Structure 1
Amino acid sequence: MTAAAASNEIRLTRVYDAPVAAVWDAWTDLAQVAQWWGPRGFTITTKSKDLRAGGHWDYIMHGPDGKDWPNYARYHEVVPRERLVYDHGASSADAKPLFHVVAQFRDLGGKTQFDMCMTLATAEEAQKTRGFIKAAGGNSTWDRLAEYLEKDDQGRELFVINRSFDAPIASVFDMWTTPAHLAQWLPPTGMTMAFRRVDIRTGGDAFWSMSSGDFTMYGRFEYLDVQRPDRIVYSQYFADEHENITRQPGAPTWPEKMVTTVTFTEEGAGQTRVQVRSEVLGVVTAEEIAAFVAERSGMTQGWTGSFDKLEELLPSVAAHS
């Protein structure tokens, strides 16, 4: 469970399926950092980096809209494979940093727990920064790191997204396993969802439809593992109205089947982090893998829209539970 954050702090915890040496190298080797640093759609150019106490990292983030964001970090502590402490958020060496960062790497025996604490001057500044990070999709940086580590170590392409909710883990889990609730928040914005058949348990399945009014698509979930309150694994594929497997409407090169693993983690009193990991299932072509990789930004937008609806729905559902 993550330690409670002070009002002027922003805390983040992730567990990566990679040894601590690999996670540290991904953070500190410039060639690797360039593969994942920044929100989806961003790239970076490093002007100079001196990884030592008193050193710095001077770089530019390039947004998908063409805007450049100069960044300057000043290192205070560098303990290889354990700890980085630095000031960040300045636009140049002479500018005032926006926040102080303590990043810690903990060896879990083949996995790595990464804890980061950003400390700002005031609670108001922390709240403002939370809003900026959310609007910019900044937390997708850590999802991209998970994808990069998996590709580097296992050669597998993943899609990863995390979201924290101010609700107990049991309530959040129920939103995924109660069909009436799931149908309210899961479909893309502008679409409605209906279950034609649903049995959410290990070995169960669901046949659903989603409609935008003049267009209806169908699909199936096959639940491979449902463990309350911390894990749901299901495969999914598109189907016709008779449940025959089909390709995604309008995307003939999209992989035929996917498998999604959803994990639920307590992050503090009454707070839960949800992680969604999706990958292709079965034999696929290089073209299908390329289509999956190219659509990560779109998947991030889709899940973000669904999570926004889930966030809005949770208080009213919890109040009546």
Structure 2
Amino acid sequence: MEPANARTDARTKTIQATTAQVFAAIRDPLRVARWWGPEGFSSTIHHFDFRAGGKWYLTLHGPDGKDYPNEYRLLRAEPDHLVEIEHPSDDHYFILRIELRQQGDATLVVWQQTFDTVEHYRPLASFLAEANEQVLARLSAEVHGAPSAAS
């Protein structure tokens, strides 16, 4: 198997909030709909089962007017600490690991999106680098109660 670092987009973001406050924005479907996706995208959540094995169905609405249906499965959720989500797709299979680390009065969000192969990851790498930074900024805005760019 190819090394994980060759097929992973890894980002970090420090958010001035507790891990519980950040986790609350990750587990609430109304809040997830406000921050999930890069700038210019909005989300409609059709089903959101936040427990191990639970599935999420959502549609990302792109700024180009296209809709992008998505399915996710929650692999793990450790309150205020860790969320692992599987995106079971033939084209873009990945596992997203979101780790929350309390650092004083802030939370370090460690975001790792690991694809099944380098071949699937490489064509998306530059898009993901920018998109995941935007998603983390939108998560931070949600935690702080500020409207995000696509709200």
Question: What range is the shorter-chain TM-score in?
Answer: 0.7 to 0.9
Q: Which position in structure 2 is the counterpart of 1:120?
A: 115
User: Is 1:51–2:50 an aligned residue pair?
Assistant: yes
Tell me if the contact between 1:87 and 1:97 (Cα under 8 Å) persists in the aligned partners. Answer: no
Q: Distance in 1 between matches of 2:93 and 2:66?
A: 20
Tell me if the contact between 2:9 and 2:128 (Cα under 8 Å) persists in the aligned partners. Answer: no
User: Is 1:66–2:60 an aligned residue pair?
Assistant: no
Q: Distance in 2 between matches of 1:96 and 1:6?
A: 19
Give a deviation string over 1:62-83, Cα, whole Å, max 9, x none. 1122110011111111111111
TM-score, normalised to structure 2's length? 0.84
Q: Which position in structure 2 is the counterpart of 1:108?
A: 103
Q: Which position in structure 1 is the counterpart of 2:143?
A: 149
Q: Distance in 1 between matches of 2:57 and 2:69?
A: 8
Tell me if the contact between 2:9 and 2:129 (Cα under 8 Å) persists in the aligned partners. Answer: no
* 1:229-240 paired onto structure 2 within 5 Å: none
Q: Distance in 2 between matches of 1:83 and 1:113?
A: 12
Task: Note the aligned Cα RMSD (angstroms).
Answer: 2.4
Q: Which position in structure 2 is the counterpart of 1:30?
A: 29
* 1:183-262 paired onto structure 2 within 5 Å: none
Tell me if the contact between 1:105 and 1:113 (Cα under 8 Å) persists in the aligned partners. Answer: yes
Q: How many residues align?
A: 147
Amino acid at match of 1:25: A
Q: Which position in structure 2 is the counterpart of 1:14?
A: 13
Following superposition, which runs of at least 4 residues in structure 1 exceed 4 angstroms of deviation? none
Amino acid at match of 1:37: W
* 1:167-182 paired onto structure 2 within 5 Å: none
Residue 17 of structure 2: SS of its match in structure 1?
coil
Return 5+ residue gaps in structure 1 as ranges. 159-292, 298-321
Q: Distance in 2 between matches of 1:131 and 1:111?
A: 28
Q: Give the deviation of 1:134 after TM superposition.
A: 4.9
Q: Which position in structure 2 is the counterpart of 1:99?
A: 94
Larger Rg: 1
Q: Distance in 1 between matches of 2:129 and 2:81?
A: 27
Residue 35 of structure 2: SS of its match in structure 1?
coil
Q: Which position in structure 2 is the counterpart of 1:78?
A: 77
Q: Higher relative contact order at CA 8 Å, sep ≥6: structure 1 or structure 2?
A: 2
Taking structure 1 as reference, are residues 37 and 65 closer, same or farther at Cα in structure 2, changes over 3 Å only?
same
User: Is 1:140–2:139 an aligned residue pair?
Assistant: no
Q: Distance in 1 between matches of 2:132 and 2:11?
A: 12
TM-score, normalised to structure 1's length? 0.42
